[in-house]
Amino acid sequence: SCTQGRLDGFFKVL
Amino acid sequence: MFEARLVQCSMLKKVLEAIKELLNEATFDCSDAGIQLQAMDNSHVSLVSLNLRSDGFDKYRCDRNLSMGINLASMTKIMKCAGNDDVLTIKAQDNADNVMFMFESQNQEKVSDYDMKLINLDQEHLGIPETDYSCIIKMPSGEFARICRDLSQFGESVVISCTKEGVKFSAAGDVGAANIKLAQTANVDKEEEAVTIEMQEPVTLTFACRYLNSFTKATALSPQVQLSMSADVPLVVEYKIGDFGHIRYYLAPKIEE
């Protein structure tokens, strides 16, 4: 089974 | 002041359709270059990035940068009042707390205006890193919507597997398993019917059906969709919007436990 990843960390807060 | 005129207001109706399932509210950033919107859904699994260039509009004026926080349900109510062939003008004063939508019928015999309150949204602006993708798949947007709809009957997840030969979409669950393979098209009469694959390295990633299905609400905006994938980075699903720009959706993959 797998868990849903998140986008936090991929995008940088400007 | 800000003023944007659009002869065919159906484009904005379609854009709204394409974002309102994922987002309750969003900031429309208006500048000389055009209108941009960037927002993650509440669970931070997907991100919507919309870019409408000013030169796509029939008239566009933006004296000062303006960020309009908009409740998308409210905007949907207003856009429902417009006919598809109406001419739309969006107007806002600098630092205004409201925005006006004006709809004119083609024969100019009916003119309606709707004033909408803006909301304060404290949204972060995110930098999207430049990424070289291992696989870029272009395919008819209707076909992608069909595949997402069909496979979501079988499971919550879709595995997208791209090789040089083609792309495979798979789902499995209580009913059984489903696999849909698309090969690159050899010859097509129309460019928009083509399936093309640019592959540096094969990639297999798993994504939640629910989000993919939400992205396909943008199907009416473009006959083609582009999927960009690399291992361990978000999928990008891009729909071009005619002369305006694009809407891109980013989706975090599911991770093997």
Selected for mutation to probe chain B from A8, A11, A14 (highest B CB count within 10 Å) is A11
Of B125, B127, B253, the CB nearest to A5: B253
The ipTM assigned to this model is 0.93
> B249 and B216 in contact (C-beta within 8 Å)?
no
Quote the CA–CA distance of B119 and B57 in Å, as a whole number: 25
- Please give the pLDDT value at position B43: 94
- Please give the pLDDT value at position B202: 98
Average pLDDT over chain B reads 95
pLDDT digits (tens, 9 = 90+) for B73-129: 999 999 999 998 999 999 999 888 999 999 999 998 999 999 999 999 887 788 899
pLDDT digits (tens, 9 = 90+) for B144-179: 999 999 999 999 999 999 998 899 999 999 999 999
Query: Residue A1, CB half-sphere, CA atoms under 13 Å: how many?
Result: 5
- Please give the pLDDT value at position B138: 97
Quote the CA–CA distance of B45 and B227 in Å, as a whole number: 17
- Please give the pLDDT value at position B61: 98
Residues from chain A that touch B127, judged by Cβ atoms under 8 A, are 11-14
> B51 and B34 in contact (C-beta within 8 Å)?
yes
Residues from chain B that touch A12, judged by Cβ atoms under 8 A, are 126-127, 129
Q: Which amino acid is located at B191 in the chain?
A: E
Helices (H), B55-172: 72-79, 141-151
Residues near B67 by Cβ (< 8 Å), separated by ≥ 6?
A: B27, B28, B29, B30
Residues from chain B that touch A14, judged by Cβ atoms under 8 A, are 124-127
pLDDT digits (tens, 9 = 90+) for A1-14: 789 999 988 888 87
